[in-house]
């Protein structure tokens, strides 16, 4: 069953998708959502600890992971232009691997964004402490939760516009850092002018100062930094012209990674020796401080706050859509099918917000290490989602070659080869997570989550045996 059959009858208004959503996201907004999805708190904060572990070789780790992310996104792009649907990951898993995998992927992606929202709301409250230390953190977190909830209820256009400006702040900050850093390297001005040099990339114990093994262990954090890049796939059902906007957004990914990750880190590590970075310190704050910009901490604090709110905003958007997709397939309560007068899945967003609110309370009463645990769970859930995209793509390509399905207008380069490479890489990262004692706990959590979903699936099958039948997709819109 596709969502084309739900609620809208046989006709679809010109400004609505086949799912009944409003096609309210223009090219400008989709482009910036795609850019913002590749710039998050993992870069602004997490890179400090990873620099301390890997030194300049972290640049290579981000570049390597960036190539894999591009493979994933091109695989997703081919699927999206074959059949653009809002619940893309779950829908393709359901079609190519079977109903259980669609069910599991949809709920796991929902979990990823709920726990990410928990962490980001708490982080946002901590950032506001910088300016207003007298305001209790739970109050700040609650205010942000209510505001973003309201934004997501109004319309997808308002969500897209807010996300556009959130992303604009992040992009401007990174470009500013790169330009200032290049100025320091070229002209030698500021307090860092005497020590800034490209040779800082290898002058202190080499490019891999702590060994290749230590550098590889940072891949867990690097992959977390790339979470949400796949969000552009969730916008497929609400993009004004998915056949044009989605390929453009995906094809711009390499330069975004090259500029905002590899470029920014390269400049920072040329300006400041890698030995001066430590866990808990933003590399951007440190770089601005060494250069001698007095308002550095305030500037970066605002940017990181924006990144946290952007992530939470995206989480509310995607969880509501995924719950609706699950409901349409009979894998969640039917009440989640309904759209509000503004064409938003209001109930799904509300339920997700309630769970995010519970996370605010939990993060308030448990030790700080809980933040790290939550982000590791999000990473594990993200890896599952990426694996489902890649495996679905491999199976889709087989069906196209066999003549069973129409070809997409946006084929991935190399066919399935790049998808196989990305699958092996993600399995390798999962092995690194299992090897590391601190991050291993997320695999235990995921095992418990899988057990719970398995029980849920058994209950669904007992109530509706037909749910386990693989549906035939409709081809209302093939790229």
DSSP state of 135: S
Beta-carbon count within 10 A of 319 CB: 28
Q: Taking Cα atoms as reference points, which of 1, 257, 304, 252 lies closest to residue 127?
A: 304
Which helix (DSSP H) or strand (DSSP E) does residue 106 occupy?
A: helix 99-128
pLDDT value of residue 418: 96
DSSP state of 8: S
Q: Taking Cα atoms as reference points, which of 154, 454, 166 lies closest to residue 304?
A: 166
Residue 142: pLDDT over 50 = yes
Over range 371-381, report the average pLDDT: 77
Q: Taking Cα atoms as reference points, which of 443, 319, 311 lies closest to residue 376?
A: 443
Residues contacting 150, CB < 8 A, separation 6+: none
170-173: long-range pairs with CB below 8 Å, 24+: 170/36, 170/39, 170/303, 170/306, 170/307, 170/310, 171/32, 171/35, 171/36, 171/39, 171/260, 173/284, 173/299, 173/300, 173/303
DSSP state of 207: S
Q: Are 92 and 2 in contact (CB under 8 A)?
A: no
Within 13 A of 424's CA, how many CA atoms are on the CB side? 6
Q: Taking Cα atoms as reference points, which of 114, 222, 72, 89 lies closest to residue 445?
A: 114
The DSSP result for 107-132, as a single string, is: HHHHHHHHHHHHHHHHHHHHHHTTT-
Spatial distance between the Cα atoms of 297 and 112, rounded to a whole number of angstroms: 30
The two tokens of residue 79 are 């699927």
pLDDT value of residue 7: 38
Tell how far CA 271 is from the center of its chain. Answer: 29
pLDDT value of residue 242: 73
pLDDT value of residue 411: 93
The two tokens of residue 32 are 């910036």
CA dihedral angle for residue 307, residue 310, residue 315, residue 316, rounded to 10 degrees: 150
CA 204 vs CA 97, 165, 195: distances in Å: 49, 39, 13
Residue 12: pLDDT over 60 = no
Q: Taking Cα atoms as reference points, which of 88, 267, 78, 74 lies closest to residue 185?
A: 267
Residue 386: pLDDT over 90 = yes
Largest distance between two CA atoms of the chain: 72
pLDDT, the chain, mean? 82
**Residue spans per domain, the chain:** 32-460
Spatial distance between the Cα atoms of 337 and 289, rounded to a whole number of angstroms: 51
Over range 80-104, report the average pLDDT: 86
Over range 325-330, report the average pLDDT: 86
Q: Taking Cα atoms as reference points, which of 443, 286, 446, 350 lies closest to residue 152?
A: 350
**What is the third-level CATH fold of 32-460?**
Amino acid/polyamine transporter I (1.20.1740)
pLDDT value of residue 325: 82
Q: Taking Cα atoms as reference points, which of 10, 6, 108 lies closest to residue 451?
A: 108
Q: What is the CA radius of gyration of the chain?
A: 22
CA 144 vs CA 129, 165, 260, 304: distances in Å: 14, 16, 27, 15
Over range 306-334, report the average pLDDT: 85
Q: Where are the alpha helices (DSSP H) in 367-438?
A: 369-401, 417-435
pLDDT value of residue 277: 85
pLDDT value of residue 13: 47
Query: Which residue matches tokens 């309210």?
Result: 24
286-295: long-range pairs with CB below 8 Å, 24+: 286/48, 287/177, 287/181, 288/177, 290/191, 290/192, 291/180, 291/181, 291/184, 291/190, 291/191, 291/192, 292/190, 292/191, 292/192, 293/180
Query: Which residue matches tokens 């649907």?
Result: 85
pLDDT in tens, 261-306: 899 899 999 988 999 888 767 788 788 888 887 777 788 788 888 8
Over range 92-98, report the average pLDDT: 92
Query: Of all residues in the chain, what percent carry a pLDDT higher than 90?
Result: 28
Residue 356: pLDDT over 70 = yes
pLDDT value of residue 239: 65
Q: What is the pTM of this model?
A: 0.85
Q: Taking Cα atoms as reference points, which of 290, 245, 301 lies closest to residue 125?
A: 301
Spatial distance between the Cα atoms of 239 and 250, rounded to a whole number of angstroms: 14
Residues contacting 315, CB < 8 A, separation 6+: 113, 114, 116, 117, 120, 352, 356
């Amino acid at each position: 069953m596709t969502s084309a059959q739900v609620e809208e009858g046989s006709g679809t208004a010109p400004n609505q998708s086949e799912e009944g959503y409003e096609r309210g996201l223009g090219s400008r907004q989709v482009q910036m959502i795609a850019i913002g999805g590749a710039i998050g708190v993992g870069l602004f904060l997490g890179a400090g600890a990873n620099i301390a572990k890997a030194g300049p070789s972290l640049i290579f780790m981000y570049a390597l992971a960036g190539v894999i992310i591009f493979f994933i996104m091109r695989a997703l792009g081919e699927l999206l232009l074959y059949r653009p649907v809002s619940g893309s990951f779950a829908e393709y898993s359901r079609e190519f691997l079977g109903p259980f995998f669609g069910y599991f992927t949809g709920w796991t992606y929902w979990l990823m964004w709920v726990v990410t929202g928990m962490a980001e709301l708490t982080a946002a409250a901590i950032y506001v402490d910088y300016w207003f230390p007298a305001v209790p953190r739970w109050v700040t977190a609650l205010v942000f939760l209510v505001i973003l909830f309201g934004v997501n209820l109004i319309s997808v256009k308002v969500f897209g516009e807010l996300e556009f400006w959130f992303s604009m702040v992040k992009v401007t900050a990174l470009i500013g850092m790169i330009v200032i850093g290049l100025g320091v390297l070229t002209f030698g001005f500021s307090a860092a002018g005497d020590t800034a040099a490209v040779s800082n990339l290898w002058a202190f114990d080499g490019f891999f100062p702590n060994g290749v093994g230590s550098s590889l262990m940072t891949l867990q954090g690097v992959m977390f930094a790339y979470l949400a890049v796949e969000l552009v796939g969730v916008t497929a059902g609400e993009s004004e012209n998915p056949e044009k906007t989605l390929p453009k957004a995906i094809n711009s990914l390499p330069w975004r990674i090259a500029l905002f990750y590899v470029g920014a880190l390269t400049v920072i590590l040329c300006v400041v020796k890698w030995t001066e970075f430590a866990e808990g310190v933003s590399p951007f704050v440190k770089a601005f401080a060494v250069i001698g910009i007095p308002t550095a901490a305030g500037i970066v604090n605002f940017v990181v706050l924006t990144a946290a709110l952007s992530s939470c905003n995206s989480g509310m958007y995607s969880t509501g859509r995924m719950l609706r997709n699950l409901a349409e397939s009979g894998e969640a309560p039917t009440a989640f099918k309904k759209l509000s007068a503004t064409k938003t899945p209001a109930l799904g967003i509300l339920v997700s917000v309630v769970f995010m609110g519970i996370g605010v309370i939990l993060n308030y009463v448990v030790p700080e290490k809980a933040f790290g645990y939550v982000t590791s769970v999000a990473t594990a859930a993200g890896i599952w989602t990426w694996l489902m995209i890649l495996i679905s793509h491999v199976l889709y390509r087989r069906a196209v070659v066999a003549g069973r399905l129409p070809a997409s207008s946006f084929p991935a380069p190399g066919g399935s080869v790049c998808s196989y490479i990305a699958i092996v890489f993600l399995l390798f990262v999962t092995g690194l997570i299992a090897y590391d004692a601190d991050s291993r706990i997320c695999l235990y959590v995921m095992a418990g989550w899988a057990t719970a979903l398995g029980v849920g699936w058994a209950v669904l099958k007992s109530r509706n045996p037909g749910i386990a039948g693989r549906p035939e997709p409709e081809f209302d819109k093939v790229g």
